[in-house]
Amino acid sequence: MANQRLIYGFHAVNARLWQNPKSLTELYIQEGRQDARTRDVLEKATAEGVRVHFADAARLNSLCKNARHQGVVGFIDASRHHVHLEDVLENLNEPPFLLVLDGITDPHNLGACLRVADAMGVHAVIAPKDKSAGLNATVSKVACGAAETVPYITVTNLARTLRELKEYGIWIVGTDMGGEADLYHYSVPDSVAWVMGSEGEGMRRLTREHCDALVSIPMLGMVESLNVSVSAGMVLSESRRQRTLRQEQQ
């Protein structure tokens, strides 16, 4: 199938089994494994009617190109339950909290960003279709299940999408070393979309021009920059902290 995608490892497979089991087209389990995690996966897969195959380690290694699969490999129909941005925004019962990734091509970085986005309660992660890492087995593995829980929305024209977000009353905040405010002295809006650029080049010019504010992360040591997933964790955590304080004060 053109839309079939590989996932592997207990976190990714379990997340898919519990969140969206009907999208799993088939599951491969290493034969002879009797540990509790494997039994739980098999039990859940059977209950959900997922087709299960038993295979030796060599077969699983071949399927996922020798990645650390932990004895479980699955194929999903990636076309099922595709989420659009409007679906997310129109079904929220709190101010939108979004993460925009501009030019993040490393699947490990994308997976880590999805993981921290899930931890901080981000409603969706948005990225351009071109020059971005797509969802694949590596992303799912690194994300430890977050790739199955956080909507990852790819758009054809990121600048147009940012304009649409503004129409929803969402403040577009970019991270930039030369930002006019620093993270610890910036009052994060209730409705916010944080924009992160690639570690090397940062945001593209047009993306930067669509930001309502540019905020820097204070660097107190010798290093000049942070990995994008670390930066994302910092700004999302600060946003969640401020949001929680405002809610407690109401």
Q: Which residues are annotated as a binding site for S-adenosyl-L-methionine?
A: 197, 217, 226
Helical axes 36-47 vs 10-19, angle rounded to 10°: 30
Residue with tokens 């999408």: 161
Measured CA to CA, the distance from residue 15 to residue 11 in angstroms comes to: 6
Contact 194, 232 (CB under 8 A): yes
**Which residue ranges are tagged as binding site?**
197, 217, 226
In angstroms, the Cα distances linking 74 to 16, 137, 149, 161 are: 9, 10, 17, 33
